[in-house]
Amino acid sequence: MEIGIDLINIKEFEKRLSPQFLSRVFLPSELKNKSKLASIFALKEAAMKTLGKKINWKDIQVTYSKQGKPNIKILGNKNKFSTSLSHDKDYLIAIVLKIN
């Protein structure tokens, strides 16, 4: 079992949102919900930490259930992941646990 954690300052993250950054990091389906971009970014960072290596940002897909729980799929990876997010004022923390 592996765990990855990422903490970001939301305001600082929003300063980086150039068209080049958006197209390099996010899938078109992820860009549809601008209010979740910081969460998606943090989840992708935490997911890479569970793998122990950097991979292509777009190989990680973040979706949300109807109840609002984030889900992660990694291209070519059969592992299952459990995720959690928490916000406090200007900060957001994402935790990803690789289950198998």
pLDDT at 100: 77
- Domain range enclosing 48: 2-98
Q: Into how many domains does the chain fold?
A: 1
Per-residue pLDDT of the chain (100 residues; tens, 9 = 90+): 899 999 999 999 999 999 999 999 999 999 998 999 999 999 999 999 999 999 999 999 999 999 999 999 999 999 999 999 999 999 999 999 999 7
What tokens were used for 10?
């939301």
Cα–chain-centroid distance for residue 18? 18
Q: What CATH number should be reported for the domain holding residue 38? A: 3.90.470.20
- Of 57, 53, 62, 98, the closest CA to residue 80 belongs to 98
- Of 77, 72, 87, 95, the closest CA to residue 3 belongs to 95
CA distance 88 to 8: 11
pLDDT at 26: 98
